[in-house]
Amino acid sequence: MSLELLQTLPSVQCERRPILANLVILTADELKSLNPLERQAARRAARQQPLVRVILRTLLQRGGPIPVEDIVAASPDDHATALHDALVALDDDDLIRIRAGQIDVAYPFSAEPTPFRLRLSGGRQRYACCATDALGIAPMVGEPIEITSSCHHCGEPLKFAATPQGVGPDTEGVMVWFGKRGDEGCKAFNSL
């Protein structure tokens, strides 16, 4: 898959410059051998990388999908090959998803419509990957948001506000269910 993904990235020739991020590279077996808490900690740490923060900020500001070449252009001081390698590693680690040369998912955001719609300041509409991601976006961006979805059990519409401090009283009786993914080896993005 990495070679296939690299073939979809634009080829850019430039001189060697500093690497954007240091990535910890693990084989699939090494990643699977980590317990779930270790995997979560590794994913949280990866989201602090400058490259991931640029991707999240871009999705937040303008929506998506984001052409990979836009990320390359936004990082003119970085070597294109190193940047492409870093993007491939983030895709392999299930932190972003690149399809057809565009980033269409970066936790917690999806560029494509999902059942978890968000309205941010200025009326910007974005989509969250799941209910848990939707609940975490207000603290992440530091501003109130409105979450709209529907009950997966009965279909009843849900609409409530969330602030950086948490959800409001209009969420009384609303529950979020957490389940175990059936195949830990598959990418979570593929379930969207």
Q: Which residues pair with 98 in a beta bridge?
A: 103
Residue 143 Cα distances to 115, 132, 184, angstroms:
21, 17, 33
Give the CATH number of domain 113-178; options: 3.40.1710.10, 3.30.70.340, 3.15.10.60, 3.40.50.1000.
Answer: 3.15.10.60
- Mean pLDDT in residue range 8-19: 44
Q: In the predicted model, what is the mean pLDDT of the chain? A: 79
> Which is it for the CA torsion 3, 73, 78, 42, positive or negative?
negative
- What residues contact 136, with CB distance under 8 A and at least 6 apart? 108
What is the three-class DSSP state of 46? helix
CA distance 138 to 122: 14
pTM: 0.72
Rounded to whole angstroms, the Cα distance separating 106 from 87 reads 11
pLDDT tens profile 157-186: 999 999 999 888 878 777 777 666 555 555
For the chain, which residues make up each domain, given as ranges? 2-105, 113-178
What pLDDT, on a 0 to 100 scale, did the predictor assign at position 78? Answer: 66
Q: Tens of pLDDT along 105-149?
A: 998 999 999 999 999 999 999 999 999 899 999 999 999 999 999
Higher pLDDT, 35 or 15: 35
Other Cβ atoms closer than 10 A to 47: 16
Residue 6 has pLDDT above 50, yes or no: no
